[in-house]
Structure 1
């Protein structure tokens, strides 16, 4: 049966990229996000090829099993087509694309996924990530080496471990079937959204209850407000609900919406000299699929980086403590050049240091007990001594004591 619900798709180049290598599709039963990679033109071609191949699946299915098989077979066929395309167009070598696709069959969502685009389910006020990122940092998260929050800012967060590319004709694709129900809101997006807008803000926007088109607009605006360093593609799928149903015309966005599709002009011959060396396109791909042996090197490099950070942190703390200790020692040394006249329990005393204390630490010590009894002083003189009298030097402190002694002698 034809899916009963509503949907919307939107795609934007972002604020940094010079072209849009994402593609998106929202049809009657089929919904897709594909994030292309591989240089200025290669990503366009890869994601467009994926949409062109998969849109043939936008039809009713007798069973979820049939839909799951069709989806898996079509994605594998796309991988072969990418390889064939590169053989005809060698300048596109290295291109690839993520694919996150969903077919609605009765009360079920049939899902296929490879790469780091994502599918979320918003149900009863809670947002759940349904797909698993096929990335290096996700492997680190799964192994407990880093936290999900650390993964958001990890320098290797864009390195893909699995992708639909021009190297593997039999890619490993995640496929599964999930029950869905009226009121569910599905989100398919490229990492241009999920890498910029965090899940609490995505959930809040999905929970506003706006129509799919307006919801997609709001999510795109948040990505743009966050800098949008990559292409942004969003597909919203509502199950049931009060919004208008599918109009009958699929919505295709991003590079796949280009009328010329994959007919990318042949690259001009590159000339290279010591004055004008060949350079890569300014629109560098944000991620790539590493060779298997590269993973261990990445892990070892991360270990080295972690050790360097640890050593740097320890060195920094030690340096700060050393500076604080040096400042404290210099300050204490200065206090020991100061003197003042005060009192102990019953006599006048010359103290070395200053009158202040730092918590339980006294910054002064008795230097000389004058043996002048406090009881021999007048009430005013006694109060003055108990309150301490600052001196500019040791000789000045002794002069003050001499004056006190005269006062004591006069009072006896």
Structure 2
């Protein structure tokens, strides 16, 4: 059964790189995006080999299981093609490519994925990322060590854990089947789009309801406006809907569209690059599949950075607490140089208090320093009121002088 829908594929070199290492394919039943890696020539070769190997899958299938088996077999064969290419041209060692492919079978999408290119589904005005990046930072996100937003700007966001390459004759693709509905729009793209244009702007373009070709142009324009530091490849697939299929001829874009077939230009020996910074030089590899021991070192380094950051926060918190404690201690010490005369509620007698008359929440900022034998009821009414309202003293000697005056005010016969 031939898929009923319409599609478009475009690929752009971007604003920084000198050549296009991406490849894309949009056919009758098959849709593919491949983002090559491996330096000046290797990336072109890898993505081209993958697309040209998979284009033989563009036909109907009796079942989704048959389509899955064919997709996995084609990916394995493509890996073998890369291994043979490196044997013929040793300077291409380390070449590889991401791969995202959809085969439409009746009302289902058979999906194969490896690397950090992505597949999105736009349905009911909602955009959902279907694939999970096979990257170092995605592992950190899955482990809860960083947030998705932090992953977007992490310096190692393009260190790949899995790719289709000359290093693995039996590549492990994520394979799954999803039901698809009339009106669904599938978006396949390299990280030249997803790494620059956020989902908010993707959704803004998709909601315009334009034909696949114009929608792809709109998404590309966002990537170019964002600097387009990498190649950008976009494939859009509509399931049924308002946009009829204009031509039944497959569209091949990017490196795989070379009219002379797969051409391997003379290339400088590629220098492996583990990082994929936003402004990386155009003739350097965009991806690298690191060895296990290197990845472990990255994980340990990330752990050490997290520990240092945690200790930094703890040290800062300790400093702040110490400063607050010093301020509190200093403030309390100052209050203990203050005195006032008032009533000791326990004995109902006049007392000298050390501290200040205010309280700090539940904490009293004063205490009885010296109780006297002067009963409040023995004082004249005026002095009783004065003592009840407390009388501040400038020093301990001043407080003792106030007590002496209160004692002298007691009428004859009541003096203790």
TM band (smaller chain): 0.7 to 0.9
Aligned residue in 2 for 1:363:
365
Give the 3 Å change call, closer, same or farther, for CA 8–364 of structure 1 in structure 2. farther
Q: Determine the C-alpha separation between the residues in 1 that align with 2:185 and 2:372.
A: 88
Give the 3 Å change call, closer, same or farther, for CA 337–170 of structure 1 in structure 2. same
Aligned residue in 2 for 1:353:
355
Q: CA deviation at 1:241?
A: 0.6
| Local SS of the residue matching 1:46 | helix
Q: Determine the C-alpha separation between the residues in 1 that align with 2:254 and 2:408.
A: 99
| Local SS of the residue matching 1:330 | helix
| Local SS of the residue matching 1:152 | helix
Aligned residues: 400
| Local SS of the residue matching 1:366 | strand
Give the 3 Å change call, closer, same or farther, for CA 327–148 of structure 1 in structure 2. closer
Q: How does 1:287-326 map to 2 (within 5 A)?
A: 287-326=287-326
RMSD: 4.3
Asked whether the 8 Å contact 2:35–2:99 carries over to 1, the reply is yes
Q: Determine the C-alpha separation between the residues in 1 that align with 2:337 and 2:391.
A: 15
Give the 3 Å change call, closer, same or farther, for CA 396–21 of structure 1 in structure 2. farther
Give the 3 Å change call, closer, same or farther, for CA 319–13 of structure 1 in structure 2. farther
Q: CA deviation at 1:24?
A: 2.9
Asked whether the 8 Å contact 1:26–1:32 carries over to 2, the reply is yes
Identify unmatched segments of 5+ residues in structure 1.
271-279
Aligned residue in 1 for 2:274:
none
Q: CA deviation at 1:350?
A: 3.1
| Local SS of the residue matching 1:337 | coil
Q: How does 1:377-388 map to 2 (within 5 A)?
A: 378-379=381-382, 385-388=387-390
**8-17 vs 232-241, greater mean Cα deviation:** 8-17
Q: CA deviation at 1:62?
A: 6.0
Q: TM-score, normalised by structure 2?
A: 0.74
Asked whether the 8 Å contact 1:30–1:55 carries over to 2, the reply is yes
Provide, for residues 13-66 of structure 1, a one-character-per-residue CA deviation record: whole Å limited to 9, x for no partner: 667767654333333332111122233553344324433443454445566555
Q: CA deviation at 1:163?
A: 0.7
Identify unmatched segments of 5+ residues in structure 2.
271-279
Give the 3 Å change call, closer, same or farther, for CA 357–196 of structure 1 in structure 2. farther
Q: CA deviation at 1:123?
A: 3.8
| Local SS of the residue matching 2:32 | strand
Q: CA deviation at 1:162?
A: 1.8
